[in-house]
A and B are shown apart, each in its own frame.
Chain A
Amino acid sequence: MTDESQIDAVIPAASLVAEAADSAELSSFTPRGGQTQVIIDVARDDYPAVVHAALDAGYETFTDLCAVDHLAREPRFDVVVNLLSQQYGERLRIKVGLSNEDPSLASITTIYAGADFYERETWDLFGIVFDGHPDLSRLLMPDEWEGHPLRKDFQVGAIPVEFKATR
């Protein structure tokens, strides 16, 4: 982890994004032989503002949105957004913690149109509701599917498969 002043020098765009909200915390680390990973942790209420600030700061490319189920941790879920600035050659990861009781988050489809499928996938596989998404429906699993398979309490192989009707 580096301190704030160092980050300012290296990644001005990311610190600009972190200034958009009080709850935003900037951190970064560089794995050996890898790229510097810049992460902003943000509270749920400030999330759309921070994503918007990221677009304004020059992170023009939407790369990825996914979730992580930490199960025993509180908050249980992390929603992770990956953005890319081609002009600065920098990536930015925005993380929001969500509780088990209320796994919902504002949709960012109005900021990055590409979040559409990714939010649908995250709803499908994790059951995280994105408020304001135009068409939040199952994407990968069949429409009739029950449960959200990438949650850690969704067991592998718990679904009976019948290839043939029995008499």
Chain B
Amino acid sequence: MSDDAPTDEEAPLPASGGTPPKGGRDSDERRRVHDLWVAGTEEPSWVATATDEGAQELLPEDLDPALATQRGVAVVDDYGEQPRLDDEELQVLNMGPQHPATHGVLRLQIELEGETIRRVKPIIGYLHTGMEKTGETLTFMQGGTNVTRMDYLSPFHNELCFALATEQLLDVDIPERAQAIRILMTELNRVASHLIWLATFGLDIGALSMMLYGWREREVVLEFFEKVTGLRMNHNYIRAGGVAADLPEGWEADVEHIIDIVRTGLADYEALLNENPIFIERTQGIGVITPAEVHAYGVTGANARAAGVEYDVRKVFPYSGIERYEFDVPVGEHGDAFDRYIVRMEEMRQSLHIVEQVVETMPPGDYRTDDRKVTPPPRQRIDESMEALIHHFKLFTSGFEVPAGEVYQAVESPRGELGMYVVSKGGTRPWRLHVRTPSFATVQALPVMMTDLLVADVIATLASLDPVLGDVDR
């Protein structure tokens, strides 16, 4: 420390907003860059040294522990109980949060005995952006833009769930066409999401070509989404009262094209994988979960159905008129990675079957409710009437008021039961928006599935479960 050190203490870093103290530091004391250090040492031993490069002068040193935890470089064994360190064979392996096969930023702390996993601790929160808190600050009208970003692979399901919850509190009727459009979009979204799952599943267990095929077919679906909503992801298309816009001209041909392409694709994938000995070897009997564990941990969706638990929100608690369409719920038997694959492949076929029926039976009519409480007046009226203009303006600035009440609404997202618990106190914003995400429950159950497997099976198990970390951390 040089003579300037006391100056440092007198003028600490400004908390926020204030102007930084001038001339308090000379070059020796300039913040050092510390990208890497050896975990477990008393004092972090810096690898990099001082530099004048502006952007590389990172966070203040007192934030280092937090930074280390966030990056996952500080390997601290924080199991609830003491590790069995007396056994020389035991070692702690830290997988993630930047491991490519964790599908986001999941960190797994794995305790190994040789190559066998003895304990797993999932550590989450790296992608936590406080979306439930944000949801409380946005109006019910704006809320769709928030929730659609949670599970970024199935944005339509998030929007639908939020819209349905809001509509129940509002007590408005939704036209049949709007309901059918919602089913069309969510079921296509399920196909797109499962294709991504299949692509990454193949990638993770070594079937690299699967990744290219899955992405290629999903692209066709996303192009249709872009045509309808203007965006490939995060659409904010399904809103309280209906949908944002009617389907474009010629949508039937586009959807039929998707059905053809994906159906052909599915047959190809199955030819590629179903009897592939490496694929079978790596997935059968891996990551098994029993029905009792499924219930206790709240695992839902294809992961639960692969274990023989026949629960599908669409059948038990139908929403948005899904009960009008005919479809089967595929159920597995063994609860392992292979059964999850079989179930998801069949789910895609069933979703395409639903989409087919929607195309055949799309009812005419309005794509959103004519209830002026939630729907802005038509464009034409705004030109004629000052009141209509004011109403339009009020609706998009302060939003509509939702009566006090609380409601839990669930939809079947590609990952399982997506539930939203909305509490309103009679304002234009939700008092509380809690999202029960399927991936959260799945990640919680990882230790059950991974214990006593080999370390190589971690990837296969994780990939077969299809967790989305945006869904986990919110």
Contact = CB atoms under 8 A, between A and B. Distances in A.
B350 interface: no
A34 B128 contact: no
Given A33-B174, A117-B440, A62 B125 contact: no
Given A86-B295, A117-B443, 18 more contacts: A31-B171, A34-B409, A35-B317, A35-B409, A37-B406, A37-B408, A63-B436, A64-B419, A68-B423, A86-B311, A114-B441, A138-B125, A139-B124, A140-B125, A141-B128, A149-B133, A156-B134, A156-B137
Interface in B424-471: 431-432, 434, 436, 440-441, 443-445
A156 B60 CA distance: 23
A113 B297 contact: yes
A34 B69 CA distance: 43
Interface in B291-312: 293-298, 300, 309, 311
Nearest to B19: A166
A144 B68 CA distance: 11
Contact of B298 (A114, A141, A156): A114
A148 B99 CA distance: 29
Contacts of A89: 316-317
Interface in A59-80: 60-64, 66, 68-70, 80
Nearest to A122: B434
A93 B407 CA distance: 10
B168 A34 contact: yes
B298 A62 contact: yes
Interface of B: 13-17, 20-25, 30-31, 54-55, 57-60, 65-66, 69-70, 78-80, 124-125, 128, 130, 132-134, 137, 164, 167-169, 171, 173-174, 293-298, 300, 309, 311, 316-317, 405-409, 417, 419, 421, 423, 431-432, 434, 436, 440-441, 443-445, 473-474
Interface string A131-147: 00011011111111000
A64 B436 contact: yes
A66 B59 contact: no
A138 B66 CA distance: 13
Given A34-B407, A140-B125, A165-B59, A86 B309 contact: yes
A63 B137 contact: no
A150 B135 CA distance: 11
A167 B12 CA distance: 10
Contact of A114 (B20, B21, B296): B296
Contacts of B417: 63
Contact of A140 (B78, B124, B137, B174): B124
Given A134-B80, A139-B125, A33 B20 contact: no
Contacts of B441: 114, 117
A23 B441 CA distance: 30
Nearest to A142: B66
Given A114-B444, A140-B125, A165-B13, A156 B133 contact: yes
B471 to A, nearest CB: 13
B435 to A, nearest CB: 9
A-B CB proximity, top 10 nearest: A160-B16, A166-B20, A135-B80, A31-B168, A114-B297, A64-B436, A140-B128, A140-B125, A34-B168, A66-B434
B295 A142 contact: no
A125 B130 CA distance: 10
Contact of A82 (B31, B60, B70, B408): B408
